[in-house]
A = this chain, B = another copy of it.
Amino acid sequence: MYRRPGVSTTVPDTPALHEFEDALGPGRVITSEHELREWRDPFQFESWDEYTASAVVMPETVEEVQAVVRIAGRHGIPLWTHSQGRNNGYGGPAPRVQGSVIVSLRNMNRVLEIDEECAYALVEPGVRWFDLYEALRAGGHRLMLSIADIGWGSVIGNTLDNGITYMPYGQDQQMQCGMEVVLADGEVMRTGMGALPGSPAWNVYKRGLGPTADQLFMQSNFGIVTKMGVWLMPYPEVFHPVWVRVWNDDDLGPLTDTLRALMLDGTIRGVPQMLNTVLFGSMISSHDQWWTGEGPIPDREIERMGRELEIGRWMLRCALYGDEAVVEHQFAKVREAFARIPGADVWGWMCAPEDIPSLENPHERVMGGVPNLDLNAMVAWYGGDQGGHIGFSPIAPLTGHHAGELRDLMRGMLAESGLDYMASLLPVSARSFAHITMIIYDTKNEQQVRSAFDVSKRLVRQAAKQGYGEYRAHLDFMDLAAEQYSWNNHAYMRFCETIKDAVDPQGILAPGKQGIWPKSMRGSR
């Protein structure tokens, strides 16, 4: 197992800071304690300061990003980059190393190109789901964007953390095509066909000549992505949300197995979610409505919640996209398949793509590519506007067996910590799912925050013992999560470290990101 020295740094009042100011101009280097609060993990307890930055720099061009990296290199300053910094549940915009300089790309927010013919866009890191959606509308493009649940995030930022979206290009996170990356030495490179000057194929062909490096820049600290191609979907004839509701907790098994068959045969081409009663209910009600006693809501109250909110024990959401005749056939098939689960309800409806913005249900707008913030309501589960959550998200094969195993493991351990089990099982494609566990708490209640962080770490260890590893880890247990990937004496991490040391020998880019530390900061194994 890894041990790491506590590392921290500080930059205010150093020559480096003045160099950043000279390079970026006034107002783009932030150091006041008050302003820096915006760049903390919004879901940590207020007085914890392990993951605070000492400055934020806000470049607006690729050249400025290069300048920032070169200054950091000269002074050996750790940087921590984000696009929008909406990484809620995983640490927000906060850096792994205390005192790092955050490189915030929020103001690099141009939609550089929208190609109607080949259905793609080229964007900068600060472009949010909202922004690209608006650009498509403003340009009159009949193109849809596969988006995340909460519209404020960055298209690039979400993609680089292997974030999940819900339309067909969301399957296997496959909508990215082509990147421009600033490396640790300040050089800029383009991947794939972008490496060929004047190539019109940068954002239409996913590989190039030689190895393909794009996924090397996801969940890593090997470079700073400054441009990315995003594939868009032409308007289908119709959009058809589908809902399946089951009434018994153990219906999760057949629900999962039925879903796999429908995804494997291409009937369901988007990315569904299977939400349990408490998580679904948290978006439309609050904890105290159902339970004011000690500990998590008891099972009988969850039953009541399912009945009264008419959401059963599990709700499956998904959508069909295509020609009306095909979608009609597919919906009939989906309905028939799920109807074999006793008591299951299956419903949905069809609309034109133009009508998606006016749909009442925010889940349906999300699946239809219309960004909104409504689903963020769940964080208020424990009351007030001070709610937070940690995401704990292991991956498993998409089978009823594994769905049941993970549910039992999570629910049991969360109950021991007095926390509710709030889950969305999210099939990334036909063969696997991320068990998104939303560990929700009141950020003003230090004991509850502490419990949530502690149980998360126990979950990382216990899940790994049973063969389940995280798809994405919270800042506070990135090292722990990465340590579980230990096959052949951590061969994979050692390979990542070899690359890290080669491409960033000074270790200035996001040290510690997903457990990858530069040589100067690595402990002994």
Binding site for B on A (CB under 8 A): 117-120, 162, 168, 172-174, 177, 183, 187-191, 193-201, 204-220, 222, 231, 233-234, 236, 260-261, 264-267, 269, 321-323, 325-326, 329-330, 333, 395-399, 402, 428-432, 464, 466-473, 481-482, 484-488, 491-496, 498-499, 501-503, 514-516
Q: Which residues of B contact A196 (CB under 8 A)?
A: 464, 467-469, 484-487
22 A/B residue pairs, CB under 8 Å, sorted by A: A162-B207, A172-B206, A189-B494, A190-B488, A190-B491, A193-B395, A195-B485, A196-B464, A197-B487, A200-B396, A201-B396, A204-B431, A205-B431, A207-B471, A209-B473, A209-B515, A211-B215, A211-B217, A211-B220, A213-B216, A231-B431, A326-B329
Cα-based distance from A325 to B200 in the complex (angstroms) = 38
Q: Which residues of B contact A516 (CB under 8 A)?
A: 210-211
Interface contact A264-B119, CB-CB below 8 Å? yes
Q: Which residues of B contact A481 (CB under 8 A)?
A: 209
Cβ-neighbour of A329 out of B266, B323, B514 (below 8 A): B323
Interface contact A471-B333, CB-CB below 8 Å? no
Q: Which residues of B contact A326 (CB under 8 A)?
A: 326, 329-330
Interface contact B322-A266, CB-CB below 8 Å? yes
Interface contact A211-B218, CB-CB below 8 Å? yes
A121 to chain B, nearest CB (A): 12
Cα-based distance from A173 to B265 in the complex (angstroms) = 18
Cα-based distance from A306 to B495 in the complex (angstroms) = 54
Knowing A214-B215, A487-B197, say if A208 contacts B264 (CB, 8 Å).
Answer: no
Cα-based distance from A498 to B193 in the complex (angstroms) = 20
Most chain B CB within 10 A, of A266, A321, A323, A398, is at: A266
A418 to chain B, nearest CB (A): 28
Knowing A190-B491, A211-B216, say if A198 contacts B467 (CB, 8 Å).
Answer: yes
Q: Which residues of B contact A267 (CB under 8 A)?
A: 323
**Nearest opposing residue in chain B for A208, CB measure:** B485
Other A-B pairs, 16, CB within 8 Å; known A189-B488, A196-B464, A209-B515: A117-B399, A120-B431, A195-B485, A195-B487, A196-B469, A197-B467, A201-B397, A201-B432, A210-B220, A211-B496, A233-B264, A266-B269, A326-B329, A499-B499, A499-B502, A499-B503
Q: Which residues of B contact A485 (CB under 8 A)?
A: 195-196, 208-210
Interface contact B199-A469, CB-CB below 8 Å? yes
Interface contact A195-B486, CB-CB below 8 Å? yes
Q: Which residues of B contact A119 (CB under 8 A)?
A: 264, 430-431
A222 to chain B, nearest CB (A): 7
Cα-based distance from A188 to B489 in the complex (angstroms) = 10
Cα-based distance from A396 to B487 in the complex (angstroms) = 40
